[in-house]
Amino acid sequence: MAAGYGAADQAGAQYPAYGENAQPLKPRNKVRRPNRTEVVVLVLVPWLTFCMVSCLSAFAHYEFRAAVYVVDGSWLFLSLLLIVLGAQRRISVHMGLGVLCFFAVCAGACVGLFIDAEFASEYYRLDKGASYQDVEATTNSTSYGDATALTFQAGTIVYSEATIGYMEGGEVYCVAPIVSNKDSNLLIPPVVQFWAVGEDCCGMRGDFECDDATVGPEALGASVILEPSHGYRQAVRMMPAVHGLASEHSAIFLRWVKDPQAFRNEILRNAVLLCVGACIAHLSASAMCGIAIALAPPNY
Q: State the pLDDT confidence band at 224, using cuts at 50, 70 and 90.
A: confident
- Predicted confidence (pLDDT) at residue 61 exceeds the cutoff of 90: yes
CA dist., res. 111 & res. 205, Å (int): 38
3 state DSSP class of 214: coil
28-50 confidence digits (pLDDT tens) = 555 555 678 888 888 999 999 99
Q: In the structure, what pLDDT confidence band is assigned to residue 218 with cuts at 50, 70 and 90?
A: low
The reported pLDDT for the residue numbered 53 is 97
Instruction: Give the whole-angstrom CA distance, residue 217 versus residue 265.
Output: 24
Q: What letter would DSSP give residue 203?
A: -
Q: Which residue, 213, 224, 215, is CA-closest to 132?
A: 224
pLDDT at position 25 over 70: no
pLDDT band at 164 (very low <50, low <70, confident <90, very high): very high
In this predicted structure, the answer to whether residue 221 has a pLDDT above a threshold of 90 is: no
Residue by residue, DSSP assigns 223-273 as EEESS--HHHHHHHHTHHHHH--EEEEEEEEEEEES-HHHHHHHHHHHHHH
Least confident of 2-6, 147-151, 206-210: 2-6
Which pLDDT band, with edges at 50, 70 and 90, does 5 fall under? very low
Q: How many CA atoms are closer than 13 Å to the CA of 184, on its beta-carbon side?
A: 0
How would residue 189 be classed by pLDDT, with cut points 50, 70 and 90?
A: confident
Least confident range of 11-20, 75-84, 134-143: 11-20
Q: What is the pLDDT of residue 2?
A: 47
Domain chopping of the chain, boundaries: 29-127+269-295, 131-258
Q: What confidence score (pLDDT) does residue 8 get?
A: 46
- pLDDT at residue 300, rounded to an integer: 39
Hey, which residues does 131 pair with through a beta bridge?
149
pLDDT for residue 91? 73
Q: Mean of the per-residue pLDDT values for the chain?
A: 85
| More confident call, 198 vs 215 | 198
Question: 17: pLDDT confidence band, cut at 50, 70 and 90?
Answer: low
pTM recorded for the entire structure: 0.77
Confidence of residue 173 (pLDDT cuts 50, 70, 90): very high
Residue 16 above 70 pLDDT? no
> How does pLDDT run across 244-294, given as a tens digit for each residue?
999 999 999 999 988 888 889 999 999 999 999 999 999 999 999 888 877
